[in-house]
């Protein structure tokens, strides 16, 4: 009698072979917009504002002045303009350019 499991007519793999497969997790996005926003959040990190971090000293969205060593901002890497962290999520859900110079994020 042959005990080779592949000689049998079965439709599923035995358990020990199923468990040996690697598990890969892939983020599922509801839409492309959510995926784009998540990529921007990784690309434009949060940081505490210090003098000379950005070209601007006032947030163009909230019109609040950045406070040295206190304000949490996001600084766009291509143009070096910054906005307040509190307005960042809402901003990127509607726009894909810097509010000051119009460069793409």
The class of domain 28-94 in CATH terms is: alpha beta
**What pLDDT, on the 0 to 100 scale, is given for residue 10?**
47
Q: Is the pLDDT of residue 76 over 70?
A: yes
Contacts of 82 (CB under 8 A, 6+ apart): 49, 53, 54, 56, 59, 66, 73, 74, 75, 76
Q: What is d(CA 57, CA 49) in angstroms, rounded to the nearest whole number?
A: 9
Burial class (CB in 10 A: 0-12, 13-18, 19+), 98: buried
Q: What is the pLDDT of residues 24-51, one digit of tens each?
A: 555 555 677 788 888 888 899 899 999 8
Mean pLDDT of 90-101: 91
Q: Is the pLDDT of residue 3 over 50?
A: yes
Mean pLDDT of 3-15: 51
Q: Which two tokens stand for residue 41?
A: 């959040």
Query: Is 92 in contact with 99 (CB distance < 8 Å)?
Result: no
């Amino acid at each position: 009698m042959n005990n080779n499991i592949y000689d049998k007519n079965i439709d599923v793999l035995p358990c020990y072979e199923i468990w040996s497969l690697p598990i890969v997790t892939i983020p599922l996005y509801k839409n492309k917009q959510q995926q784009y926003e998540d990529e921007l959040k990784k690309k434009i990190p949060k940081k505490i504002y210090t003098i000379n971090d950005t070209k601007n000293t006032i947030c163009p969205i909230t019109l609040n002045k950045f406070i040295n060593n206190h304000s949490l901002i996001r600084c766009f890497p291509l143009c070096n303009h910054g906005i307040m962290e509190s307005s960042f999520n809402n901003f990127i859900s509607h726009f894909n350019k810097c509010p000051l110079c119009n460069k793409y994020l």
